[in-house]
Amino acid sequence: MTSGQSAPARLVDSHCHLDFPDFDNERCEVIARARAAGVTRMVTICTRLRNEAQVRAIAEAHDGVFYAAGTHPMSAAEEPMATVDELVALARYPKFVGIGESGLDYHYTAESAEVQRESLRVHIDAARETGLPLIIHARDADEDMARILREGHANGAFACVMHCFSSGRGLAEAALDLGFYLSMSGIAAFPRSQELRDIFAAAPLERILVETDSPYLAPPPHRGRRNEPAYVAHTARVGAELFGLDEAEFARATSANFDRLFARAAA
């Protein structure tokens, strides 16, 4: 860093997939670039429980990298049904910080809706039992998602983040009413995402996280290319503008939110 140049804002990438083959040839370099961009912590997400040990190994090999595990809704029909005991047992690992991602995806896999709903309820029960946050994927399933989250919460409170939130205002309000968090991905930085930006701007700042969902959904100016955790800074810049903050203020706020939700990974 040259004289007169300020350090980058300290950010957290609350959701990425460092185990995906997109990163196989340069995983260490990707993590190093993230740190150089001010990303002090990352949560890498296991989407199939049979890959849990591999994802855990990545987290354990790198300072500032944590992990979560669950069955992705798009894989729910292909994978063995997770059990609450199986998910709860993962909490014994110090770097295991969340349950999921789980949820509902009726855009690509509507034919497995019933098994997705069953899987989601298992993950909700595990989040409640462990006290770790549930990580939710929702696409084209707003009504069912809101209903199941409300029902689950009525049976006992749990913490939750709506990862890569890109659903409608109704689901956002339902999640916020339950005390949940909304996470901004690169989608919020896309030019045609003004309606989504309006939803985030109407939410309390203390309920906002930022993420990449890398290797997917790279924000401008990298859109259309492989995403990586360093690029969360571009999404955070858009978030700062939405809330009328400078980048350092927004980074501090979202990092504090992350610490509150992902207490095991708190700075």
Handedness of CA 70, 185, 205, 94 (dihedral sign): positive
Does 62 appear as a known binding residue?
no
Question: Are residues 102 and 120 in contact, defined by beta-carbon separation less than 8 angstroms?
Answer: yes
Report the alpha-carbon distance of residue 117 to residue 200 in Å, rounded. Answer: 26
Find out whether 180 and 159 touch, Cβ atoms under 8 Å.
yes
Go through 94-114 and write b for each residue having 16 or more CB atoms within 10 A of its CB, e for each that does not: ebbbbbbbbbbbbeebeebbe
Q: Of 91, 81, 177, which Cα lies nearest the Cα of 132?
A: 91
153 assigned binding-site residue: no
164, 185 Cβ separation under 8 angstroms: yes
b/e sequence 239-254, b meaning 16+ C-beta within 10 Å:
bbebbeeebbebbebb
Q: Is 137 annotated as a binding residue?
A: yes
Residue 234 assigned to a binding site: no
Nearest residue to 12 via CA among 36, 38, 41, 33 = 41
Annotated binding residue at 163? yes
Q: Which segments are annotated as binding site?
A: 15, 17, 101, 137, 163, 213
Q: Which segments are annotated as binding site for a divalent metal cation?
A: 15, 17, 101, 137, 163, 213
